[in-house]
Amino acid sequence: MAWFRKPRYTTVPAGQKKKDMPEGLWTKCDKCQAVTFNTELERNLSVCPKCGHHFRLDCWERIGTLVDPGAFHEIDGGLTSTDPLHFEADEKYADKLQAAREKTGLAEAVVSGEAAIGGVETVVAVMDFSFIGASMGSVVGEKIARAAERALQAHKPLVVVCASGGARMHEGILSLMQMAKTSSAVQRLGDAGVPFIIVVTHPTTGGVTASFASLADVIIAEPGAMLGFAGPRVINQTVREELPPGFQTAEFMRDHGMADMVVPRKDLRPTIARLLRMLTGAESADIEPSSAEREAGETANDRLETPTRTSARTGLTDRQTDSIITATSSDKSEGEGGPQGS
């Protein structure tokens, strides 16, 4: 028996050390790589304070930043998807649904309800990308259509915050039918003169872009959000042309007439509130150009050269929608303490 023994140490591989670091204290920006404390990020509505990158919000965070505090009442919360085709690819659709429900705590990829925004009674629907890419299956389509029908019956404006990877192919043709259903539901809103506002968040693509998301009276997009049908790689391979810089970003889509305005998250709630008051007749739509706009002669000249898109249903020109954002940003009374994430 030996008197001395070499002590046995457990070796810790260098790569393992990171796991011991406390998680959830900070977040690294996907765009500029800056590290920000989560508390600061939350205060900034999940927008990177360094570069302005808009992080994704889940639907309850979104509702918290958008509607008046305590004003949201969920509707159709009990609707859940079934698996009518017994679809199975790399995993069963039924299992995928169950996993998504457990991961997000949501019944489906959209939450709808009645709320008030800036004091205007509104029907609101918010899609959540973390639930199977917020793809539009039968239940998502049904909830959007029902929200539109409720808005129509109550003659309240409809506001939908969308994000989607497109149609939910696990439901085959049933998912594609939702495009027609939601389109005709929002068309009835238009016929009745009930305002409909879309907020495009990153990314909004496929069957959602190709249906109700393109049919709103006012289409607002968050900075940098992708808005399109097919992705840039597919388009590039199809047309065999180099795509222009910034292709399919919110800013590109605004400049080419597919979106009315690009609004930073902090200005979203006051901008929508102001639009709702104008569209429901509570506030005049005749907005004078702001003093800043008058002083910036070059901006006005630039605008004259760019094509002006006028919303067919609201009659708002680009110039007026720009003025709404300018007026809202400088409207201190609109802040009401600022929207807070929940």
Give the interface with Zn ion as residue ranges (CB under 5 A): 29, 31-32, 34, 48, 50-51, 53
DSSP code string of 83-105: -TT--BSSSBHHHHHHHHHHHH-
Residue among 27 and 187 whose Cβ is closer to Zn ion: 27
In the β-sheet with 110-117, what is the strand arrangement from edge to edge?
A: 73-75, 110-117, 120-127, 158-164, 196-204, 218-221, 261-262
Minimum distance of Zn ion from residue 37's CB (angstroms) = 13
Residue among 28 and 103 whose Cβ is closer to Zn ion: 28
Residue among 50 and 294 whose Cβ is closer to Zn ion: 50
Minimum distance of Zn ion from residue 32's CB (angstroms) = 3
Helix H, strand E, coil C: the string for 176-200 is HHHHHHHHHHHHHHHHCCCCEEEEE
Minimum distance of Zn ion from residue 47's CB (angstroms) = 9
Minimum distance of Zn ion from residue 50's CB (angstroms) = 5
| Amino acid in position 81 | S
Residue among 202 and 277 whose Cβ is closer to Zn ion: 202
Residue among 48 and 213 whose Cβ is closer to Zn ion: 48
Minimum distance of Zn ion from residue 35's CB (angstroms) = 10
Minimum distance of Zn ion from residue 33's CB (angstroms) = 7
Q: Please count the helices (runs of H) and the strands (runs of E) in the chain.
A: 12, 9
Cβ-count burial 232-244 (b if 16+ within 10 Å, e if not): eeebeeeeeeeee
- Whether cis (ω within 30° of 0) applies to the bond prior to 69 is no
Residue among 36 and 323 whose Cβ is closer to Zn ion: 36
Cβ-count burial 161-170 (b if 16+ within 10 Å, e if not): bbbbbbbbbb
